[in-house]
């Protein structure tokens, strides 16, 4: 087994371990809104999140995985809950995300920004959601090659 395949297998293992937490983060960002849930294919968003993480260089992937793991276990304790983030109800998940978004400690905000980038960037690439937000003409122009 060469080095590249070993690194790829290690990245796949790391991302697989994060899958329950990524599902929780995805659901926290999408929320309970039935209109958004109808427009977003949750399984495709999860696949794209995992693919994005697997493509990261090893150093960044390791840092982000460690940050997400810390977030999964520490953030519920901050709001007085014991289960990890992935097992919390939607209002508690939103409280955790809000606490990390406005944290005084810069490292917590940095981890939150990484989490937000990974999840939100993959959710907002859903064509149906972008059309409902008013980006329909821009999407059609991009498909036809008329981007400015």
CB atoms within 10 A of CB 143: 10
Distance CA 39, CA 64 (A): 28
Condensed to tens digits (0 to 9), the pLDDT of residues 111-132 reads 999 988 888 888 888 777 777 7
- Cα-Cα-Cα-Cα torsion 136, 30, 17, 82, nearest 10 degrees, comes to 170
Condensed to tens digits (0 to 9), the pLDDT of residues 26-85 reads 888 888 778 888 888 888 888 998 888 888 888 888 888 888 888 888 888 888 888 888
What does the DSSP 8-state code read for residue 32?
T
The pTM for the full model equals 0.77
Q: Is the sign of the CA dihedral 19, 44, 53, 84 positive or negative?
A: negative
- φ, ψ (nearest 5 deg) of residue 118: -65, -45
CB atoms within 10 A of CB 62: 14
């Amino acid at each position: 087994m060469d080095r590249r395949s070993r690194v790829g297998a290690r990245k796949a293992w790391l991302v697989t371990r994060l899958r329950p937490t990524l599902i929780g983060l995805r659901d926290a960002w999408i929320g309970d809104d039935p209109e958004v849930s109808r427009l977003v294919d949750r399984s495709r968003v999860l696949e794209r999140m995992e693919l994005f993480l697997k493509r990261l260089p090893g150093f960044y992937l390791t840092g982000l995985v460690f940050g997400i793991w810390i977030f999964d276990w520490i953030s519920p304790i901050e709001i007085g809950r014991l289960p990890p983030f992935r097992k919390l109800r939607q209002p508690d998940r939103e409280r955790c995300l809000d606490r990390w978004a406005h944290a005084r400690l810069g490292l917590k905000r940095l981890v939150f920004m990484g989490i937000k980038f990974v999840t939100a960037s993959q959710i907002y690439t859903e064509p149906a959601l972008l059309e409902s937000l008013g980006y329909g003409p821009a999407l059609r122009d991009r498909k036809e090659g008329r981007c400015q």
